[in-house]
Amino acid sequence: MKLLRALFVLALVVGFSVPAFAETQNVKVSGSLDAYWFYRVNMDLLGGNDSGSIPIAGTVPSQSHSGDINHRSNGDDYFMSITQIEVSADLTDNVSTVINLINQRDWNASGFEDGGSVGDSRTSISGAEFDILLDLAYVQMKEIFYSPLTLTIGRQDLVFGRGFIIGWNPQDPQGATQADEFTQIQSFDAIRATLDFNPWTLDFVYSKITENAHDPEDDRDLYIANVNYKFAEYNAVAEGYFVSEIDRSALNTVTTAGGLNPSPSTISSGSNDTYTVGGRVQFDPISQITLGGELAYQFGNYRAAPGATPKRDRDAWAADIFGEYRWDNTWKPSVGIEYIYMSGEENLSNTSGDYGAWNAPFRGPTYGWIHEYLETNYATGDPIDQPASQNHESLSVYGSIKPLDDLLLSARYYYFWAAESIHTVPGNQNSSTRDEELGHEIDTVVSYSYTEDVTFSFMANWFIPGDFYISPNDATASEYISEVKVTF
């Protein structure tokens, strides 16, 4: 009887399983392995202090520091790897799913990231560096309810246009990497509805950025409406968008509720609401030339801390103007030029008047592999230095060439300056201001495709501080990065 019962249960399992597997039309497994080597010098812009780079939460040691086990060389030298595996499945009725798992870590770096650096607040990652994290997990349903409608629900990447406003949501949940600008976890927890009325495309997105407690008064939410039109000629495209970031997460204080069993609760003291409206135009007047521009304006309100300062009106602008020329040649040479503007504040400690600093937490493109992340990922020795995500103007020229089918050489030069002069005394509008010249940067890349699946790359970058920086906080920062990338 036991054998008969077991056979009966097995028959039921098979009976239910066969139809379920039959509904899967196609399953694809893919992934990638990335191995990096880093050597970085003077990322804090202070030479001779035995420090290659300091996390933004850390304190930059002075040139006269006594030194410790974490500061014995002006250069940081370490390895990092990123491993991904992705499974995608096509089901019936235009339904598909994608799951991407990832691990990213500095090689055996529990001692490197354990808070031993001066002022480094990171905790030990020992035991966490080999964790497998969820990057993507979404279901996509095409022609759902209405033939032009596609609905995507779950953890997904979001990129609109050139990513000037929405394109990147960098995360390092493990705290396992120093170079967080290379993170591959860039996804959003979101619901996206896409209406395809070729040549029109309309996107509507809701994304939960921060939940905190299950209380709407401490959340951070993102709403996106994007309209894109592709012209029949000149490879032309035009789009407009409205993006709302409702951020209550940073402006809530924790109090204790009354009663016999008090428990923590949050009291809202307002929110940082940023509303961005803008548009982009891009076209090829001839097949070898691409021209375009993007302009965006931000309004809303800004409050620096809960109840500490009055609410201020946002009034910020950003612009991107670009052009590229490609020669019809076997070496595929190309050159380009780009101007970036992001409005800023003369003094980020100011508490009155309109708040003019551009808010760019989800911007995709990188404008300088070193300067972009100073005072964002890495601390500098200058106490009034500002992050490059606002108060930023830059002009860059770039070019690339392929002397061989499997060899790509590219380089880019940046010139940076501040949109608003920065005061020397934070909080004092009457104090003197620094020179607006922030500096120059040269970024170079050599990329060799060993096979269709294996690519070797080497990147060498230098940031030369301008007259804004004052000795001794004006040392040239440099980094050298090699990468082996395998895709399957």
Q: Do the beta carbons of residue 466 and residue 438 sit within 8 Å?
A: yes
Supply the DSSP symbol for 402: E
pTM for this prediction? 0.87
Q: Do the beta carbons of residue 208 and residue 249 sit within 8 Å?
A: no
Q: Which domains does the chain have, with CATH numbers?
A: 290-488 (2.40.160)
Radius of gyration, CA atoms only, the chain: 25
Check residue 471 and give its pLDDT.
Answer: 92
Within 10 Å of residue 409's Cβ, how many Cβ atoms? Answer: 17
What span, in angstroms and rounded, lies between the C-alpha atoms of 302 and 247?
10
Dihedral sign for Cα atoms in the order 426, 427, 431, 436: positive
User: Which pair of tokens denotes residue 78?
Assistant: 């370490």
Q: What 3-state DSSP class applies to 218?
A: helix
**Nearest-5° Cα angle at 297, 294 to 302:** 145
Amino acid residing at 303: R
Judge if the upstream peptide bond of residue 472 is cis by omega within 30 degrees of 0. yes
Check residue 33 and give its pLDDT.
Answer: 97
> 134 vs 85, 86, 100, 172, 366, CA distance in Å?
10, 10, 6, 12, 24
pLDDT in tens, the chain (488 residues): 444 344 343 443 334 333 444 367 799 999 999 999 999 999 999 988 888 888 887 888 887 766 555 556 778 899 999 999 999 999 988 999 999 999 999 998 764 443 344 334 344 445 678 899 999 999 999 999 999 999 999 999 999 999 999 999 999 888 889 999 999 999 999 999 999 999 999 999 999 999 888 877 788 999 999 999 999 999 999 999 999 999 887 665 444 343 433 444 444 456 789 999 999 999 999 999 999 999 999 999 988 766 556 788 999 999 999 999 999 999 999 999 999 999 998 877 777 788 999 999 999 889 999 999 999 999 999 989 999 999 999 999 999 999 999 999 999 999 999 999 988 876 677 788 899 999 999 999 999 999 999 999 999 999 999 999 999 999 999 999 999 999 99
Q: What 3-state DSSP class applies to 18?
A: helix
